[in-house]
Chains A and B, each alone.
Chain A
Amino acid sequence: MANRTTWDRIRPYVMIAPAMAGILTFVIYPMGYLIYLSFYKYNLMNRAKSKYVEFDNYKQIFTRGDFYKALGNTLVYTVGVVALTMILALLTALWLKRNTRLNAIIQGGIFIPHIVSIVSVSLVWLWMMEPSHGMLNALLRSLGIPPSHWLQSSRTALVSVIIVAVWQAIGYYALIISAALRNVSPSIYEAAALDNASRAKVFFRITLPLISPQLFFILVIMTIGSFKVFDIVQIMTGGGPNDATTTLVYYIYSYRTTNIGYAAASGVTLMAIIGLLTFVYFRLLSRKVHYQ
């Protein structure tokens, strides 16, 4: 009998052990190691030559202009991508709300960018944005609008990258939102129609609150995802020109061979920022989310 109770007590731990083993090996341990590395001037190839430098890496991060530039770029990119994608995806979803055959085709069409590899997407846009013989400038010229330097000027490079990211993301999020829209019970709309509610009122008082869980989910997921953007930057600009598109993850990447300790410290900082942001979101916004 005593055996039984012991087994009962440890059974839950045994049950979750396999999953925990995975989490410990692939999440907790690497995170701990990252934090450990961040306190060293680490020599990857010869551990004996590594130096413990306390908080030097962190001190450097917070006193260096290029880190703040990368942080600023990341913030602009995140705000730009999240805001534009959410607004455009919402508008698209509202436009495609009626379940017609044409709408299904359009929805399929705008979803396609999502299934294409971001590498191909970036390369195609890279060619289209080429200033002297790219398609976009040819289009602008034919419309009599002065052409842009797109990726090759530090003034327009970040905006160009945002455009590509938004273009790729809209279809996927429009799909999520339109699924949410179709889940709103028609009886609520009927009741509103009986009360002669204006269309704006219906949208802001009924539609928006009822799809707010999905919008909140998109907000959190996209913010985290945009904060970690790397692939588009790597292919389209390499962080340039003049660091105009260096995001935090690209910043970390650029130190991978030369200063692994500093890269680790930047990684820890990024982790802290994303953690904080997510926490703030949940505290401030979760109360406004309306679960049916």
Chain B
Amino acid sequence: MKRMTNMKSSLGLILITAMMVLILAACGNSANDNSGNNAAASSTPPASESASAPASSEPASTEKTTIQFWHSLSGKNAEYMDALLKRFNDSHPNIEVVGTFQGTYDETVTKLQQSIASNTGPDVTMLERAYVEMFADADALEDMNPMLTASGMSQDDFIPGLMGHSVFNDKLLALPLNRSTPILHVNKTLLDAKGIAIPTNWDEMKKAANALVVKSGNEVTQYGLTMPYDTWYPIAMITQDGGKFFSDDKKTIDFFDNGIGEDVFGYLKDLQKSGALFYPPTQDSGTVANQLFTSGKVAMMFQSTGSIGGLASEVDFDYVTAFLPQNKQYANPTGGGNVAMLASSKNKEAAWEFIRWLETDPQGSLAFILQSGYLPFTKAMSESKEIQDLWAKEPNRKVAFDQLQYAVDTNKSVVWPEVMNEFNSAIQAIMYDSKDIKSTLATFKKEAERILGQ
């Protein structure tokens, strides 16, 4: 009997141990998948299959260098990117670039942080431009200057307005890729019906937006203007009003003491109160704004240049784009993704070859830009026949590019992501709760100074 129970218990022990090992192994595997570890990604067929376009043949030679490339493109844009990667892999027998979608810009940043901490980061990544400085501060990105020079290129090859988040401490850490700016989208049919010209400054905008309001009873059925809930648009207006987001010494914010913040938000609140401005809810605000615009319930919209293609295919009215209206000057921030090489990459030569090809080869980004509607980012690209033809056909896209001459980014700081959270709170307090503008911005200034002082 005694023997029996002993045997039973040791059998149980073995079973439990085996189960534990299995569980641990399973956890280990999934962790690897999440961090996109080199070995894991190449050993799991689905990941590489979905990334390097379906028809691509298996690597024949064993001396191929594999480059991991993380991006934040989904839907149609992901298909365009997959096609681009296939073109690269087909033309480079010695390099295999494996592209992996890592979620939104923010999610990609979180994953990058974790993968860098555990030494399993990719070689090349797409990085939302506002985050570049944070990674630069941690020395996580490779200086591409020497490689750029060695390839006979220079920073002057790029459109200056899109290089605002590329150079930190004299190091070239990121190059533009899928970039956009905010722009004014206009339902010209509605404006023409009232004989209103497209507004070019704040005063004209206020008059036009108010004139375009249609009410039935107490409810507004047609608004003059809308914009997604985002820091982008208030920042654009701060610079149009002659202000900057951060002060030059990066110790505080610039737009409070000089009254510019009150000016901007006062203007928006006036429009909102009269029914001229529809300020959408925080969740899904871009989609809500787009839907209002395409269904003709709002006449004008501040929105990314990246939505031109989508809007043009959906509207049945005369749709045009224009510069964001000026107050003291024309000005607009930029956004979208840059491409960067990680300092931890073990295949820097191959990684650079990919980035160089991506940035300059006609088979590289040019086709991607044409398809997706993002902004051309090199001078050669903007002068190319393909882009010129496109602009002749779709002048709306040329307006977006022309506005880049006024591009300025004044919210650059290593702690911008943290300050952005506080600025969002301030925007919400003012736009949704109609809190006092001056005291809300004073609180924001205090919080920003606390973060900047750390």
User: What mask results when residues 360 to 372 of chain B are scored 1 for a CB within 8 Å of chain A, else 0?
Assistant: 0000000000000
Chain A 1-42 near chain B by CB (<8 Å), digits 1 or 0? 000000000000011001101100100000000000000010
The secondary structure that dominates the B interface is helix
Q: Give A45 to B24 CA distance when docked, in angstroms.
A: 26
Q: Which residues of A contact B117 (CB under 8 A)?
A: 44-45, 47
* Residue of chain B at shortest CB distance from A262: B418
Q: Are A45 and B432 in contact (CB under 8 A)?
A: no
Given A45-B117, A257-B109, are A242 and B425 also a contact pair (CB < 8 Å)?
yes
B40 within 8 Å of A (CB atoms): no
A49 CB-CB contact with B under 8 Å: yes
- Contact residues, A210-248 vs B (CB, 8 A): 235-238, 240-243
Contacts of A22 in B (CB 8 A): 20, 23
Q: Which residues of A contact B417 (CB under 8 A)?
A: 257-258
Q: Is the CB of A152 within 8 A of B281?
A: yes
Cα(A222)–Cα(B428), bound, Å: 31
Contact B282 A241 (CB under 8 A): yes
Is residue B435 within 8 Å, beta carbon to beta carbon, of the partner chain?
yes
Assess whether A278 is interfacial by the CB under 8 Å rule.
Answer: no
Closest to B109 in A: A257
Closest to A150 in B: B281
Evaluate contact between A15 and B9: CB separation under 8 angstroms. Answer: yes
| Residue B151, interface by CB 8 Å | no
Interface residue B145 (Cβ < 8 Å from any Cβ of A): no
Residues of the A chain whose Cβ atoms lie less than 8 Å from the Cβ of B140: 45-46
Indicate if the CB atoms of B138 and A45 lie closer than 8 Å. yes
Residue of B at shortest CB range from A122? B283
Is B48 positioned at the interface, with any CB of A under 8 Å from its CB? no
B352 near A: Cβ within 8 Å? Answer: no
Tell me which of B110, B135, B138 contacts A256 (CB under 8 A). Answer: B110
Q: Does B314 contact A (CB under 8 A)?
A: no
Q: Which of A152, A242, A257 contacts B113 (CB 8 A)?
A: A257
**Bound complex: CA of A259 vs CA of B106, how far in Å?**
14
Contact: A41 with B113, CB < 8 Å?
no
Q: Does B50 contact A (CB under 8 A)?
A: no
Whether A240 lies near B432 (C-beta < 8 A) is yes
Q: Is the CB of A237 within 8 A of B13?
A: no
Does the CB pair A45–B113 fall under 8 Å?
yes
Residues in chain B near residue A235, CB distance under 8 A: 283
Choose among A153, A242, A243, A256 the residue with the greatest number of B CB atoms under 10 Å from its CB. Answer: A242
In the bound complex, CA of A14 to CA of B20 (Å): 14
Task: Let me know if A43 is at the binding interface, CB within 8 A.
Answer: yes
CB distance from B167 to the nearest CB of A (A): 19
Q: A242 and B283: CB pair below 8 A?
A: no
- With both beta carbons as reference points, the residue of chain B lying nearest to A151 in the complex is identified as B281
- B19 contacts across to A, CB distance below 8 A: 18
Residue of A45, A49, A152, A242 contacting most chain B CB atoms (<10 Å): A45
Q: Does B114 count as interface, using CB distance less than 8 angstroms?
A: yes
A120 to B: closest C-beta gap in Å:
15
Cα separation A43 to B20 with both chains bound (whole Å): 33
Chain A interface residue count, CB cutoff 8 Å, equals 34
Give the Cβ gap from B398 to chain A, nearest Cβ, in Å.
Answer: 35
B139 beta carbon closer than 8 Å to chain A: yes
Give a binary string over A51-70; 1 marks a CB under 8 Å from any B CB, 0 the rest: 00000000000000010000
What residues on A are CB-neighbors of B281 within 8 Å? 151-152, 241
Give chain A residues whose Cβ lies under 8 Å from the Cβ of B231: none
Q: Cβ of A44 and Cβ of B116 under 8 Å apart?
A: yes
**Chain B proximity of A14: nearest CB distance (Å):** 7
Closest chain A CB from B294 CB (angstroms): 15
Task: Report the Cα distance A44→B112, complex, angstroms.
Answer: 10
User: How far does the alpha carbon of A18 sit from the alpha carbon of B21 in the complex, in Å?
Assistant: 9
Known A46-B138, A126-B283, A151-B281; judge A241-B113 contact (CB<8 A).
Answer: no
Given A236-B283, A241-B433, A242-B432, are A18 and B114 also a contact pair (CB < 8 Å)? no
Complex: A240 Cα to B425 Cα, angstroms: 8
Does any Cβ of B come within 8 Å of A154's Cβ?
yes
Shortest CB-to-CB span from A45 to chain B, Å, is 4
- A278–B420 Cα gap in the complex (Å)? 36
Whether B16 contacts A241 by the Cβ 8 Å rule is: no
Most buried by B among A19, A49, A151, A241: A241
Query: Is the CB of A148 closer than 8 A to any CB of chain B?
Result: no
Interface: A254 (CB within 8 A) = yes
Query: Which residues of B379-419 are within 8 A (CB) of A?
Result: 415, 417-418
In contact, A43 and B138 (Cβ under 8 angstroms) = yes
Asked whether A240 lies within 8 Å of B282 as measured between CB atoms, the reply is yes
Note all chain B residues with C-beta closer than 8 A to A238: 282-283
Question: A241 with B428: in contact, given A45-B140, A254-B421, A258-B421 (CB under 8 Å)?
Answer: yes
Chain B CB within 10 Å — which of A19, A126, A258, A259 has the most? A258
* Assembled-state Cα–Cα distance A126/B288 (Å): 13
Q: Residue-by-residue, is B245-279 near A (CB-CB < 8 Å gives 1, otherwise 0)?
A: 00000000000000000000000000000000000
Report the minimum CB–CB distance from B345 to chain A (whole Å).
14
**Is B454 interfacial (CB 8 A cutoff)?**
yes
* Interface membership of B17, Cβ < 8 A: yes
Contact A154 B421 (CB under 8 A): no
Scoring B residues 410 to 454 as 1 if CB is less than 8 Å from chain A, else 0, what string do you get? Answer: 000001011001000100110011010000000000000000001
Instruction: Please name 24 pairs of A and B residues whose Cβ atoms are closer than 8 Å in the assembled complex, sorted by A.
Output: A15-B9, A15-B13, A18-B17, A19-B20, A22-B23, A44-B114, A44-B116, A44-B117, A44-B138, A45-B112, A45-B116, A45-B140, A151-B283, A152-B281, A152-B432, A237-B283, A240-B428, A240-B432, A241-B432, A242-B433, A256-B110, A257-B110, A257-B134, A258-B418
Inter-chain pairs besides A43-B138, A45-B116, 12 sampled, C-beta below 8 Å: A14-B13, A15-B13, A22-B23, A25-B24, A45-B138, A45-B140, A47-B117, A153-B433, A240-B432, A257-B106, A257-B113, A258-B418
